[in-house]
Structure 1
Amino acid sequence: MITGDAAYIKKINRSFIIKEIIKEGMISRADLSKVTALTRATISAQVADLLEEGLIVETMLEHNTVGRKPIMLSLNGQAGYALGIDLDYGKISFSLSDLLGQLVHSTIIEINTTEYTEILQILLEQMKKYQAEYTDSRYGIVGAAISIHGLVAKDEVIHFIPRLGWNEIDLKNDLKKEISIDVYIENNANLSSFAERVYCHHETENLLCATLYSGIGLGMMMKNDFFRGHDGFAGEAGHMIIVPEGRPCKCGNKGCWERYASESSIFEYLAEKKQIKNLSYEHIQNWLDEGDEEVMELMEQSIYYLSIGLNNMINMYNPDVLVLDSELLRMYPDALEKIKGNLHSFMSHYRELSISSIGKKSCILGACAMAIKHFLDVPMLNLPYETGKLNVN
């Protein structure tokens, strides 16, 4: 039983109610009372507040039976917008979603600088632009979450971004000095794992998501929260050594997992071998369609090394669900079955191993969902994943 002062209990009850409304999509007051174990009087009072605040709406369902038409409650997705930002080397992606996590606008800005002050100004300019343009809803921009491809401490200070050369950067505080939007800073792999949990794996409390693009990052959801480690730097699985004295890595070690199993390692090898400067996924897809033996052998080798690392992750964390986020794995025939075939240990236990259906959007969707979660102040979100129409500039 939850105990505490009246204001605290009211806040907790409100959180439970919003969470269940989002989870069910549409639900009646009577059913809300059943699933939350709250009295009908409590439900009525809380619902009245939420309706007045414009966070939920009522819908009267048509039905053919005798009696009153049921009145259903649902979240008002148009009450505000969440801004997700993916800060990556060479580009910054901005996406806006409604409060149901559905993307309504997206733009990508190419950048040719790694200077912090210049990138900070780009972020501020775009965030202010979104804030000014989306004032048609009651709450406007409810928050912004920024994805960082590097180490983020528990206090949200950026400890290190290898490709940008940033160390100990307090981006959150610098943004707050210039803009009134609530800002959250998070590691990109964590946000990808959050998106997988929020949009796809609603019944999963323990989930790992390995992102394989520019390196290998591991987002870890344990009991519906991030597993961060002592300082917040947990999840750098890409720098686990799987080949002693192997290929040199930018981290300073040799034989790191991402040097053998990430997409960047495959692109790097093929770009040099094939003498193609701007190698693309289309190049690799064509080679796979043609049955290029060298490319096929490289993919098989990458899957072998990927499986070694996954075996270690499974044994260490015993996840319920393990998601792999990789465009190349989606392209390569029977990649998932090949990986599963390499996991022979009787010690390894997991319920589901899958390739992400969200793909590269997972990071920025996770960022939008993170801003929504903080705004609504709920313990977890269960949002529908719909492709929808997206305006991209």
Structure 2
Amino acid sequence: MPIADQALVKKMNRKLILDEILNNSPISRANLSEITGLNKSTVSSQVNELIEKDFIFEIGTGQSRGGRRPVMLVFNKNAGYSIGIDIGVDYLNGVIADLEGNIILEKSSVLSDSSASEIKEILFALVHDFITHIPRSPYGLVGIGICIPGLIDSNQEIIFMPNSKWHIKDLKRLIENEFHVPVFIENEANAGAYGEKVFGTTKNYENIIYISINVGIGVGIIINNELYKGVNGFSGEIGHMTIDFNGPKCSCGNRGCWELYASEKALLDSFSTEAKNLLRKEIVELANKNDVAALNALQNFGFYISIGITNILNTFDAQAIILRNNIIESHPIVLNTIKNEVSSRVHSHLENTCELLPSSLGKNAPALGAVSIVIDHFLNAAAS
């Protein structure tokens, strides 16, 4: 066998073993050999290399099935740490996580009409602060994941942000030059979908749709366990599908876009002039007090969301649709309205085979998705 092929096989075997330890630890060398089908000498050699690189470590012995009790192997989740930051239209949310996605620190701040220079300053300050809180570890900061509500091309350059005033096309390069670690830029809804798939309640589902409802609406699509991004990386802009062909002009150039009716901005705009400055939290508080105007507004909010979801269900036939929105997660009237409207509009088989769920990760879903992208790349490199 050529040397290049031997090196590739060795890399593939190491990645296979590392994945099994990550997913099934504590696990013995013998069990690794049984699960992977690799001979014991190959497993032993690869395990020793992973131990030397601090990716795994040995703990006490397990139960014997005859003969010596096996030494158990555990993935070293503290070998390094990653940073994930979700830059929304009016907020910034960041987390530090270990290699299993456990959050060790999170910070949020409000953004208001921030320019590109202000975004860069706030972002860099947060990362510098996060770095001071990362525990000592063999690999330290292994990467930074950033997600934004806009179009990201296959080169991870920011192409278009319809609801934000700032635009830094080469954000990836700027961050890499400042912090000297790998940086990954992703669409916010894609990151949220990936976060829910890796860490959320739908981790065992193969086909899920993640809908992020904020100032605009973004959609992340998981098909056969893979994030679907389209040819150019622009898939999921379902917030800009037309639901009213005579509707108002959207910032994207289209008319009657779904997000003009079903976004949080549309919800806030539906209130009277005197009440338009209400905060999301205040709307929920009013609804909890049975305020008629607030309850009607939330019911309409759910109705318009259901129109888009009906189209999505008929298009993708997913196992679950996940809704990420603070208001939906805070008051049942919206989700109940959505479920009732969708039920009246789709075939019963679609309704019975797809779950409509609020996000299990809440506001941290996109940041954790960005973290998981960093971790994936780091562990893939570790196997090489």
TM-based fold match above 0.5: yes
Distance in structure 1 (CA, Å) of the matches to 2:135 and 2:329: 39
Paired residues, what number?
374
Deviations 1:326-354 (A, max 9, x none): 22222333644543332342274744321
Equivalent residue number for residue 28 of structure 1: 28
Superposition pairs for residues 119-130 of structure 1, below 5 Å?
119-130=119-130
Larger relative contact order, structure 1 or 2 (CA cutoff 8 Å, min sep 6) = 1
Contact 1:217 1:235 in 2 (8 A): yes
CA distance in 2, matches of 1:351, 1:31: 36
2:265: which partner in 1?
264
Residues in 2 aligned to 1:335 and 1:170: alpha-carbon distance in whole angstroms: 38
More off after superposition, 312-321 vs 57-66: 57-66
Structure 2 equivalent of residue 384 of structure 1: none
Change (3 A) 1:63 1:38: closer
SS at match of 1:221: strand
Q: What is the SS of the residue equivalent to 2:145?
A: strand
What is the distance in 2 between the residues matched to 1:254 and 1:335?
25
Determine the C-alpha separation between the residues in 2 that align with 1:304 and 1:113.
Answer: 29
Partner SS for 1:79: coil
Give 1:73 deviation, angstroms: 1.8
Shift of 1:90: 4.4
* CA distance in structure 2 between the partners assigned to 1:72 and 1:123 by the alignment: 41
Query: Which residue does the alignment assign to 1:353?
Result: 356
Determine the structure 1 residue equivalent to 2:11: 11
Aligned counterparts of 1:351 and 1:314: Cα–Cα separation in 2: 8
Q: How many percent of aligned residue pairs carry the same amino acid?
A: 34
- Aligned match for 1:372, one of 371, 375, 379: 375
1:179 aligns with 2:182: no
Structure 2 residue 332 is matched with structure 1 residue 329: no
Q: What letter matches 1:147 in structure 2?
A: C
- RMSD of equivalent CA atoms: 2.6
CA distance in 2, matches of 1:310, 1:280: 22
8 A Cα contact 1:28 1:71, kept in partner:
yes
Cα deviations by residue, 1:356-388 (Å, 9 ceiling, x for unpaired): 12111101111111111110118xxxxxxxxxx
Cα separation, 2, equivalents of 1:263 and 1:87: 17
* Bigger mean CA deviation after superposition, 205-214 or 292-301: 292-301
Task: After TM superposition, list the pairs within 5 Å mapping 1:136-151 onto structure 2.
Answer: 136-151=136-151
Shift of 1:304: 2.0
Q: Does 1:60 align with 2:44?
A: no
CA 1:321–1:25 in structure 2 vs 1: closer, same or farther (change >3 Å)? Answer: farther
CA contact (8 A) 1:92 1:110 kept: yes
Q: Give the 3 Å change call, closer, same or farther, for CA 107–255 of structure 1 in structure 2.
A: same
Rounded to whole Å, the distance in 2 between the matches of 1:131 and 1:238 is 35
1:290 aligns with 2:289: yes
- 1:61 and 1:202 map into 2 onto residues whose CA distance is 30
Query: For the Cα contact (< 8 Å) 2:193–2:209, is it kept in 1?
Result: yes
More helix by share: 2
Shift of 1:98: 0.8
Letter in 1 for 2:86: D
Moved more, 283-292 or 368-377: 283-292
> Residue 169 of structure 1: SS of its match in structure 2?
coil
Q: Which residue of 2 aligns with 1:97?
A: 97
Report the Cα offset of residue 262 of structure 1: 2.0
Alignment-derived partner of residue 319 in structure 2: 320
Contact preservation (8 Å) 1:83, 1:144: yes
TM-score (norm 1): 0.86
- Spell out, residue by residue over 1:266-286, the C-alpha distance to the aligned partner (whole angstroms, 9 max, x if none): 12323x4552525231x2222
Residue aligning to 1:382: none
Residues 211, 218 of structure 2: 8 Å contact kept: yes
Residue 164 of structure 2 is matched in structure 1 by: 164
Give me the TM-score of the superposition, normalised by structure 2: 0.88
* Letter aligned with residue 211 of structure 1: S
Structure 1 residues 279-300: Cα deviation after superposition (integer angstroms, max 9, x where no partner): 231x222222222222222222
Deviations 1:170-220 (A, max 9, x none): 111222233311000000000100011001222222221001122211001
How far did residue 7 of structure 1 move?
1.2
Cα offset for 1:316? Answer: 1.5
State the shift of 1:231 in Å: 1.6
The 3-state SS of whatever aligns with 1:16 is helix
Q: Distance in 2 between matches of 1:305 and 1:157?
A: 32
Distance 2:38 2:147 in 1: 37
Judged with a 3 Å threshold, the aligned counterparts in structure 2 of structure 1 residues 167 and 36 are, in CA distance, closer, same or farther, namely same
Corresponding residue number in structure 1 for 2:115 = 115
Rounded Cα–Cα distance in structure 2 between residues aligned with 1:306 and 1:113: 26
Structure 1 residues without counterparts, runs of 5 or longer: 379-393
Cα-to-partner distance string for 1:283-328 (whole Å, 9 max, x where unaligned) = 2222222222222222222222212211111221222222111222
> Bigger shift: 38-47 or 164-173?
164-173
* Partner of residue 204, structure 1: 205
> 1-side partners of 2:334 and 2:73: how far apart?
43
Find the aligned partners of 2:274 and 2:235 in 1 and give their Cα distance.
36
| Structure 2 unaligned blocks of 5 or more | none
1: CA distance, partners of 2:334 / 2:70: 48
